[in-house]
Structure 1
Amino acid sequence: MKEGNILQKRLGLILISAVLLSSCAEHRLVVQRPNPDGEHAIVNSKAYLLPRGQPRNVADCQTNLIDEVRVKTNFGQSLITVLSLGFYQPTTIEYYCAKVPSDEGSTDE
């Protein structure tokens, strides 16, 4: 009887750990030829399941060039999404701006 109890507790701990560790997600969009060293901006986005549409998030890059975009969701954000039945979906978006490329063959830096 005790062995069955210990096995159930261990199995429960493994399942809870798997759920907690698998709840984070990150999606990355990277350009084919990166040109890093630009500005970095973090935006906390909130999407609502309403007929009026989604709010628009705009990267504030001085050069109007984006090098990489990362969309992240952590455990708390996922939990809020599940508890609200998907009506509210918070996420974090990171924009990495690219620097302006120099002309080919130019000696300017």
Structure 2
Amino acid sequence: MMVLLLSLQSCYHYRVSTSRFDPSTGYQKQTAHSFFWGLVQQNVTAKNCDSLKLKSLDEVRVTTNFGYSLLTVATLGIWSPVQIEWKCPKPCPREGEL
């Protein structure tokens, strides 16, 4: 039974992107933690997009794996980690002359 459970382990991804998907950066990653069944959540800031003075994201991907799922089940949902990845969009071209 244990061999079967270990051989069937996997991860899953949720991906959200814009209809005009055209990122300007590669994936940036951060592990976010949620505690007490979502009552306390860690905020994730896309500092690389902020440094480019962009106010949007081109793609966001939320990933969990077997280890994260095992931690969530073992703590009865008290601690639930996920990995969040994002890409920044290309800046809008400036119009007109200076």
Which bracket does the TM-score occupy, shorter chain normalised?
0.7 to 0.9
1:46 corresponds, among 11, 24, 33, to 33
After superposition, give the CA deviation of every residue in 1:75-102 in whole Å (9 maximum; x if it has no partner): 1111111100010001100010111022
1:58 corresponds, among 32, 39, 45, to 45
Equivalent residue, structure 2, for 1:26? 13
- Cα distance change of structure 1 residues 72 and 15 upon mapping to structure 2, 3 Å threshold: same
Q: CA RMSD in A?
A: 2.5
Q: Distance in 2 between matches of 1:80 and 1:54?
A: 16
After superposition, give the CA deviation of every residue in 1:2-46 in whole Å (9 maximum; x if it has no partner): xxxxxxxxxx4784223x13xx11000001111212353211101
3-state DSSP class of the match of 1:38? Answer: coil
Task: Considering fraction of residues, name the structure with more helix.
Answer: 1
Structure 2-normalised TM-score?
A: 0.76
Conserved? CA contact 2:32–2:81, under 8 Å: yes
Determine which structure has greater relative contact order: mean sequence separation of CA pairs < 8 Å that are 6+ residues apart, divided by chain length: 2
Q: Which runs of 5 or more structure 1 residues have no equivalent in the other structure?
A: 1-11
Equivalent residue, structure 2, for 1:88? 79
- Cα distance change of structure 1 residues 51 and 28 upon mapping to structure 2, 3 Å threshold: closer
- State which structure, 1 or 2, has the greater radius of gyration over its C-alpha atoms: 1
Structure 1-normalised TM-score?
A: 0.70
Q: Which runs of 5 or more structure 2 residues have no equivalent in the other structure?
A: none
